[in-house]
Amino acid sequence: MDKGERIAKIIARSGICSRRDAEKLIEQGKVTVNGERITSPALNVSDTDIIAVTGKKLAAREEARLWIYYKPVGLVTSHRDEKDRPTVFDTLPKDLPRVISVGRLDLNTEGLLLLTNDGALARYMELPATGWRRKYRVRIYGALTPEAIAKLKAGVTVDGVKYGSIDVVPEETQKIARNAWAKVTLTEGKNREIRKVFEHIGCTVSRLIRLSYGPFTLGGLTVGEVREVPRKMLKEQLGNIL
């Protein structure tokens, strides 16, 4: 009978990296269990096993934590950037533990970005199967007609990529092509999805702010601020996987 849990899941929970990246490290021979190098992630381990990644012993699992961060425009959501641009992780408070992001926001998008010290939790929260809605405030230039709104509601295909239903609610009546704000809600969150679908209907996004991700909202955060999600709320929303 198998014991414990998959080793990649244990590594991800430690906050070192995602489960997928942990599997790559294992396949590259950079992980040992009880002093023995392994090359297959198809291994279950228990609390008594000693795991080391790139020669460093895996610390005991920390309690999963989650933070809400108001990401500014101009930061890359990556620990390292090949173009040497400033990253989200360069600007975080020094007292935060090592964290990874739940999904990404592109360089020119601002607003809510979730951060966690638990890689497995991040992966779970990114899955479309959670059904969590992402809400944005979007400033666009173009004619946001009822026909265009209905088209996005029905789902569109852009350059061979199919996008699911997107709800768009203009903040004011728009009769001519001009800059105007709208509330946008979606569940998929594919790469640059909002910018691409609006371009598809003849509109240009000039500002994009994520307001919420599932039950987690910006609240009163200002640009660059970080707030930890209370443990009570975390258990209410994610208790089944913590």
* Residues carrying an active site annotation: 106
34 CB burial (10 A radius; 0-12, 13-18, 19+): exposed
CB atoms within 10 A of CB 110: 20
Q: How far apart are CA 221 and CA 177, in angstroms?
A: 32
Q: Identify the three-state secondary structure at position 49.
A: coil
Upper half-sphere CA count for residue 37 (Cβ side, 13 Å):
8
Alpha helices, DSSP H, located in 89-239: 119-126, 146-154, 193-200, 231-238
> Which of 134, 123, 96, 128 has the alpha carbon at shortest distance from 241?
123
- Please name the residues in contact with 24: beta carbons below 8 A apart, sequence gap of 6 or more: none
